[in-house]
Structures are given as C-alpha cells and as structure tokens.
Amino acid sequence: MEKILEVKDLHVSFDTFGGEVKAVRGVNLHLEKGETLAIVGESGSGKSVTSKAIMGLIPNPPGRIKEGEILFGGKDLAKMSEKELQSIRGSEISMIFQDPMTSLNPTMTVGKQIMEGLIKHQRLSKTEAKSRAIELLKLVGIPNPDTRVSQYPHQFSGGMRQRVVIAIALACNPRILIADEPTTALDVTIQAQILELLRDLQEKMGTSIIFITHDLGVVANIADRVAVMYAGKIVETGTVDEIFYNPQHPYTWGLLGSMPSLDTSEEELIAIPGSPPDLTDPPKGDAFAPRNPYAMKIDTELEPPLFKISDTHYAATWLLHEKAPKVEPPEAIKKRMKGMASSKPTMVTKDGERNG
Amino acid sequence: MGRYIGGRVVSMLVTFLIIASLTFFLMKLLPGTPFNNQEKMSESQIQQMNEKYGLNDPVPVQYVTYMTNLFKGDLGVSFQQDGRSVTTIIGERIGPSAYLGFQSLLIGTIFGLLLGIIAALKHNTFLDYGSMIIAVLGISIPSFVIAGMMQYWVGVKWGMLPVAYWEGFEYTIMPTIAIAAAVTATIARFMRTEMLEVLGQDYITTAKAKGLTSTAVVIKHTIRNASIPIITIMGPMVVALMTGTLVIEQIFVIPGLGEKFVSSIMTNDFPIIMGTTLFFSILFIVVILVVDVLYGIVDPRIRLAGGK
Ligand SMILES: Nc1ncnc2c1ncn2[C@@H]1O[C@H](COP(=O)(O)OP(=O)(O)O)[C@@H](O)[C@H]1O
Ligand SMILES: [Mg+2]
C-alpha cells in the first residue's frame, strides 16, 4: 500500500487570553491510497484542529503549527507558503464540514460555488465549469441538476446541501477528502444516505478519505482503519476489526460503551465518567488517567508510549506493558463487542436505510 | 412582489397624509404672521394680504382648502416672493441640494466602506483602531463644527478653498466633507461589524478550503455579503443627509432647498415651509421603499420570501 499522506509529531497550539491551548500534542498518522481512515474522539479532542492543520487552515493568530511535518507528495504542507497551499486546497486535498446549513454562501448560487474551484484549479471557462457543475450535482444525487444549478442554498434541504458541499469538495477530483463530522448535523436516514454516497464516490473516484466523527457507530460503516484521539493525541489506532473486536485502550472501551448499538438498545449506555482535561495545562503522564478506572501509579507520572499489538494495531496505555496487571474490558463492553460482530455487516443495507 | 409594492404604496399615501396634516397644524403654532415683519406695510395692507391668502378663515377651513389644493398638485404661492409658486421655487432650489446630497452620500459611502473593510481585515491592529477612532470622531463631532473649522483653517487661514457660496466645483468640497464625515463614520462602523461577522462564518472556511486566494475570498464572499445589510441603514442615512444639508447650506450660503427652508421658517412663509417639508417627506418615504425593494433584490433569501 502506498502512503499518500503522513502526519509526523504534529503540535498545534492556540494563544488565548487564558494561555496556550495545546490542542494537538504530537499526532502521528498516515493515510493510504484509496482507504478511509476514521479519526474518532469526544468533542474537543483535537480532530478538527488536526484536519485544519492538514488543509493549512489554522487561523493565525491565534493558532499555529508548533512542530511536526505533514508530508504529502514528497512535500511538507506544514512549511508550505500560503500560495502553494492554495494550489493544493480544493484540488488535491478537499474538505467537507459539519454543518451544511452554514457551510454554503447564502447569496451565491450553488452552481457558482461549485464552479469557483473548477475555474481556479482546472482553468475551465465559465460555460465548461457550469456544465461540469451540473454533472457533479448529478453525481452526488441531486435531482433536476439543470435547474438546481442556478438555485441558492436556502432552496435545498439539509441533506441536499450536504450533497452540494460534497460536490464542491470533489469538483477537482482531489486525492484526499477530509470529512469533518459530515453527518453529525443530519438526521439518521439522511446520515445513512450521505455515508452511502461517500462510499459510492470513493469507489468511483478512488479518493482517500479521512473521516472525522465522535460516533463510533458511523465508523463501522465507512472506515478501513480507525485512529482514536484523546486530548490532542492518538491513543489507539488499528483496523476497524481490531478496534471493534480487540480494543486495548480503556478510552476506546469507554467510547464503545457509550456508543448506542442497535441490537442492544434495551441496555443502558455507559458514559465515560469525568470530562477531558484542560488543554492549557494538560496533566503529566497519561491525559486519560483521571478518568480511567484502571489507572496505575505510573499513568500519573509518565506518558505511555505506543505499544504494538499487531503490524496495524497500536495503543498508548501502560496496561500493555509486560509488568502491568492483566485487565479485561468490562463485561458489558465485551458483550457489546460480540453484539457488534453480528450487527456490523447489516447495519446499513444496499439502499442506505438503517435496519432496526 | 407586485402586491407587496402595492400595499406599500397605499401605506405610503397614508403616511404622507398624516405628515401633511401634522405639518399644517404645527405650522399654525409658529409665532407671528407672515406679514408682520414687513415694516413698510400698513395695518390695512396686512389685513388685505391676510384676506388675499385666506389667513382670516378659521383654521379647519384653511386646512380643507390646503389639502384639496394639495391633491390637485397645487402647493400654493410664496407669501414673500409674491406670485411665485412653491413648486417653481423648489424646482430652482433643488439643484444644489441634490448635488451636495449625492456627492456627500457617494464620497461618504465609498470611504465608509473602505475604512470598515480595512478595519475588519486588519482586526485588532493599528489600522483597525485608527479607522475606528476616525469613525467615532466623525459621528460625535457635529457637521457644523467641522464646517466651521474648515472655513476658518482651510478657507480663511490657508486660503485653499472658497469659504462660502456656490459657484463651481471647489465650492462644493468643504460642504461635502462636512456632510460626508458622519456618513463615512456610520458606514465604516457598520461595515466593520458586518465584515467581522461574515469572516467568522463557516462558508468563508468553505471558500478558503476551495483554494481561492484571500483576495477572492474577501471580494466574492466577504465584502458582498457584508455590504448587503448596509442597505438597511441607507434610509436613516438619507434623513441624516437631508438634515445635514439644512445646516450646511446655511453655513456655506448655498442656494439650496435647505437654505430656503430655514429662511422661510424665519419669515413664516407657510406655503414654502409646507412645500419643502412635504418634499423632504416624500423623498424619505420613497427612499425607504426603494431600500426595502432593493434589499429583496440583493438578498436571495428575502427575494424568495417576498415572491411567494
Ligand atoms: N480558534 C481557536 N482558538 C482557541 N482554541 C481553539 C480554537 N480552535 C480550537 N481550539 C481548541 O482546540 C481544542 C480542540 O478542538 P477541535 O479540534 O475543534 O475538537 P474536535 O475534536 O471536537 O474537533 C479545543 O480545546 C478547542 O477549544
Ligand atoms: Mg470538530
């Protein structure tokens, strides 16, 4: 497999009145050609900041990339000039955002909004760009694209707007698509349809996707690999199977436990106790320790390294150290992992409707 | 849209009637009569004049006569310039006022937009603070103070521009600046707020994520959307402008409508006061309608709602 993007030891901070917010604190990840990598974590864990750093869209001030490399096509995006970044944004790496109600310009027709990128990157004429925009609208499943192309965002429903946003992002056949919680603001049926669309388009266009979500339920449907993020760091990474059937980090257990699962809907959800740490003053040692029922003394003192479980599976928890006591995930979560095994392949059927 | 405008026109007419009646009665409260300041006239002559212009009739009768004539498009004749109709006088006077008004509005809007845009794009920098200091000064210093200071320094001390009168372009510069200052300041502050608001919107991030240059993002996505709400303050702006010209025309001795208006109040020239007031009111009512319609045209969200 070919690595198309590699993020090495990325640190991003925001200088605020309250001090330096260390939003991303040493993220390592890579993306392979044609795959979908899910970045999962509670809100505030630094997922959006990581993706904005890749796009070169960290607002400065107050934000800055303090350290690290973002390697793409042999170049380091973290060190590129704004002009170079502009030629990559929207053409090689694109992004779709969480809220389709606010991510389109209300005073510009959707057609024009799609055409802008085409005119800039592919140097198409206005007429060419317009017919390409119509094709794209068709591609993302918008009926009557010929009339829709000259309508304004408020004339579209939320789901349809997200399709427009996807059309904008895919206009120039980018190699990487970063989707930052693209279904969070949508209702469940529409969510499933958008996921279906993304999978379809990925198959057609061979795009690699970074899919950001706080919902592990969505991950099973779309991702090949998962990176679990907590307090600005990746704490566990592995294939979907490894994360769902053999999770190692107590935080991943927590996420699995708090995930509403379909067969076990009767069962109560187990929320992770406590809340994420203050990133202006992150705790020494393992940032998850204060919320971790299995925390050991060393967790409060020394940050755990990434322990290797398999070639693709790593987790940063001292529980994997040879001297640590053997702990098993809580029974409830183990039961869920089993439940997941039976439900996963049928969670979304061909026509995009959810079972259950 | 057609029905909407129709409804608006009806309410405009009602507004106009109310303004006309109010002005009529308020004017009757002005002390003195039109002719008591002409010392040369004898008591009987004054009586004769009062009779001629119907000023001896009971006020309700005068009111009915006035309103009837008004609907025939007859604003009456000036008491002071015998025989000359109010419409003719307004016609003569409108030129300088309109010129001054438009020139000030144009200059004020352009500079206001520029200052507001710069302030927002350079948010929290020296340029931002500088622009806003100018804006606060522009709003808080009355136009007649600015006018007086310019007359003294630029006009008298340095002799760079004519101090008064209306005889060519250089005569328009100081009055324009005096009036445009407040316009500039108001628009600058408003535009800055709108720009900052738009710059924080998600769709600006979308535009950047497309790889557009910062200039393209600012021009196509930010300035356009930020300037739409400016239209809403154009109504009050035009009022401020009209009242501004009243004073400024007086100060610079410009033969405009404002100067005529003020001098006719001094001489109780009722038809002129009525005529000019009504003229300003119509202008204002029309501006408000135009602003609303324009807003609907520029903002597609409202366009649809209005069209339904
Ligand atoms: N512009 C900003 N200024 C200050 N702090 C920020 C800014 N953007 C993000 N952060 C901080 O960075 C942290 C991570 O945020 P984010 O990446 O948005 O989380 P999420 O995982 O929910 O996407 C949060 O603590 C947030 O407060
Ligand atoms: Mg986020």
Q: What is the pLDDT of residues A286-306, one digit of tens each?
A: 888 788 887 777 888 888 889
| 218-237 in chain B: CB under 8 A from chain A | 220-221, 224-225, 228
Q: Which neighbouring-strand residues pair with A25?
A: A11
| 112-131 in chain B: CB under 8 A from chain A | none
B179 inside domain: yes
A304 prior amide bond cis, ω within 30: no
The answer, for B206 touching chain A at a CB cutoff of 8 Å, is: yes
According to DSSP, the β-strands at A233-239 and A314-315 are antiparallel
Q: Are A10 and A26 in contact (CB under 8 A)?
A: yes
Res A325 pLDDT > 90: no
Chain A contact probe: residue of B205, B210, B225 with most A CBs at under 10 A: B210
Mind telling me how many Å the CA of A304 is from chain B's nearest CA? 35
- Our answer on whether the CB atom of A44 is closer than 6 Å to any ligand 1 atom is yes
Nearest 5°: the CA angle B39, B43, B49 is 90
**pLDDT score recorded for residue B38:** 62
Name the 3-class secondary structure at A302: coil
B56 inside domain: no
State the Cα–Cα distance between residues A166 and A148, nearest whole angstrom. Answer: 15
Q: Could you tell me what percent of chain A has a pLDDT over 70?
A: 92
**pLDDT score recorded for residue B270:** 85
Within chain A, strands assigned E span: 3-16, 19-32, 36-40, 63-72, 75-76, 93-96, 176-180, 208-213, 225-230, 233-239, 307-308, 314-315
Which ligand sits closest to the CA of A18? 1
Torsion angle (degrees, nearest 10) of CA A72, A77, A81, A84? 30
State the Cα–Cα distance between residues A117 and A122, nearest whole angstrom. Answer: 8
**pLDDT score recorded for residue A346:** 39
**pLDDT score recorded for residue A163:** 94
- Chain B residues in contact with A104 by the CB 8 A cut-off are 203, 206
Q: Which atom of ligand 1 is nearest to the CA of A279?
A: 25
According to DSSP, the β-strands at A225-230 and A36-40 are parallel
B18 inside domain: no
Number of domains present in the structure of chain B: 1
A61 prior amide bond cis, ω within 30: yes
- Our answer on whether the CB atom of A41 is closer than 6 Å to any ligand 1 atom is yes
Domain ranges of chain A: 241-348
The backbone torsions φ and ψ at residue B116, rounded to the nearest 5 degrees and listed phi first, read -65, -45
**Residue B193 structural domain:** 90-266
B298 inside domain: no
Closest Cα to atom 17 of ligand 1 = A46
According to DSSP, the β-strands at A208-213 and A36-40 are parallel
**pLDDT score recorded for residue B40:** 67
How far is CA A323 from its chain centroid? 34
Residue reference for tokens 């309608």? B289
State the Cα–Cα distance between residues B23 and B54, nearest whole angstrom. Answer: 18
**pLDDT score recorded for residue A35:** 95
B262 inside domain: yes
DSSP letters spanning A221-264: HH-SEEEEEETTEEEEEEEHHHHHHS--SHHHHHHHHTS--STT
**pLDDT score recorded for residue B298:** 80
State the Cα–Cα distance between residues B177 and B179, nearest whole angstrom. Answer: 5
**pLDDT score recorded for residue A265:** 53
Q: Which tokens go with A83?
A: 């002009």
**Cβ contact (<8 Å) for A89 and B220?**
no
**A vs B: CB pairs below 8 A:** 80
Which regions of chain B are under pLDDT 70? 1, 36-40, 82, 303-308
CATH code, domain carrying B144 = 1.10.3720.10
Mind telling me how many Å the CA of A118 is from chain B's nearest CA? 9
| 273-302 in chain B: CB under 8 A from chain A | 298-301
Q: Residues with Cβ < 8 Å from A339, sequence gap 6 or more?
A: A261, A263, A264
Name the DSSP class of A305: -
pLDDT band at A133 (very low <50, low <70, confident <90, very high): very high
Amino acid in position B152: Y
State the Cα–Cα distance between residues B279 and B242, nearest whole angstrom. Answer: 11
B195 inside domain: yes
- Alpha carbon of B190 to ligand 2 centroid (Å): 31
According to DSSP, the β-strands at A307-308 and A314-315 are antiparallel
In this prediction the pTM is: 0.84
**pLDDT score recorded for residue A262:** 52
B11 inside domain: no
